[in-house]
Amino acid sequence: MTATESASPWGQRLEACQQAIEYRFQDQDLLRRCLTHSSSAPTRLESNERLEFLGDAVLGLVVCDFLYRRFPQCPEGELTRIKSIVVSRTTCAQLSDELGLGDCLSLGKGLGHGQKVPRSILADVFESLVAGLFLDGGLEPVEMLVKRCLVERIEQEAEAETRNYKHLLQQLAQKKFTQTPDYQLLDEQGPDHAKCFQISAVIGEDFFPPAWGVSKKEAEQAAAFNALGELGALEHFDAPLPLPSAEMSDEPAHGEAAADDLSAADGVDRRVTTSEFGAGVFEDPDTNRTE
């Protein structure tokens, strides 16, 4: 790129983009095409649309390869769940925002000039840049970009799932009993604005100790936790807590104080939510392998 080209608006966009992604393109025309939206291109073939198509596949490949190597004990369904989140259009748009790619785009009238860039276009440009990196330098620069931008998100999603007791119970039930757990509402107390719910996890014909929660979602998580404990699948918790059950807690009183009256007569608060469980891991009882 000549000094004159570098000083031009296009040259400034290209330079800003390369600094953001920490990669210098050998083919500057390819980078220019990555940043050209169809609204400003002479023809659609000269826009980033074809690159977006390729980038979607390349990003999926690199992320799947990373997930496969990073989590050797994860089942296919869990790998698919994490991948679907970290390569989603929402995530791609967020990454474009973080890298400032919206300021590097060439947009047609009505889309540029200080207006907010649509999220769909931000997602497109990230995918097109992934394709550009692949065509210009192979998989290595794509892997470096994924490492910089996505590994932390991947780890967060994997960590979040260790606290999802419904998901862990589903994995165990399908593996050991070839059945999917259900959740049965046993009771609900309190006024409409402050209800409490008692729910039990059910696998086949087996009911597990029920749990109270201030929402159905929290009660289901606590009920799944109880079921995992009954099945001997809980290995470690940072902060073990007593869990609610029909035997352990009094029936909540009617009215405004229903939630507070979930405590047993001994004064122990039996209301447990997912945020109180602490970090648990799932142990396969058959193999003693942590998943």
Catalytic residues: 56, 127
Neighbour order of strands in the sheet with 289-290 = 234-237, 280-284, 289-290
Token pair for residue 158? 């994997």
Token pair for residue 182? 């259900």
In order of 108, 118, 125, the CA distances from 121 in angstroms are 12, 5, 6
H/E stretch holding 234 reads strand 234-237
Q: Give the orientation angle of helix 139-149 with respect to helix 49-70, to 10 degrees.
A: 70
**Residue 231 φ/ψ, nearest 5 degrees:** -90, 0
Number of residues that make up the chain: 291
Phi and psi based region of residue 98 (left: phi greater than 0; alpha: psi -120 to 50; beta: remaining): alpha
